Amino acid sequence: MDLSKTLLDLEQSLLSQAVRSNAEDLSRLIADEFVEIGARGDKWSKAEVIEQLPLQTFTQRTISQFSSRYLSDDIVLVTYHCQNVDKAQGVTVNTLRSSIWRKQAEQWQMFFHQGTLLPAQ
């Protein structure tokens, strides 16, 4: 399987309700040193994500314009657009996202993630 497809599948799994609600799956996919900077500027650690994600109301998200770029043999930067509907406000939310994935012992783990809100169109 091509690496870009593998990483797209991993990103999509992290957006799925099944993985977002499962601490064991989250722990396997997220590196211990993980840092996330959320679309609204919040900073999250692995422990915070594993604690908080299962408590969030699930929102279906879609990925488009996915691309990947090697930073080294075992580190890859992925970028993509993510779209979801904010049901409370009835608006579509678009974000530009980037993740850094690192391969350790044949397992890819997310090391860094950032989401940036895109202006409404």
In which element (H, E) is residue 75 found? strand 75-86
The pLDDT tens digits for 36-63 are 998 788 999 999 999 999 998 888 999 9
pTM score of the predicted model: 0.91
Class of the 3-117 domain? alpha beta
Task: Map out the domains of the chain as residue ranges.
Answer: 3-117
Report the C-alpha dihedral over residues 84, 90, 92, 97, rounded to 10 degrees: -50
The pLDDT tens digits for 2-38 are 999 999 999 999 999 999 999 999 999 999 999 999 8
Please report which residue ranges of 16-45 form alpha helices under DSSP H. 17-20, 23-29
pLDDT value of position 88: 74
Does residue 117 have a pLDDT over 70? Answer: yes
Does residue 108 have a pLDDT over 90? Answer: yes
pLDDT value of position 1: 57
pLDDT value of position 121: 61
The pLDDT tens digits for 89-98 are 778 889 999 9
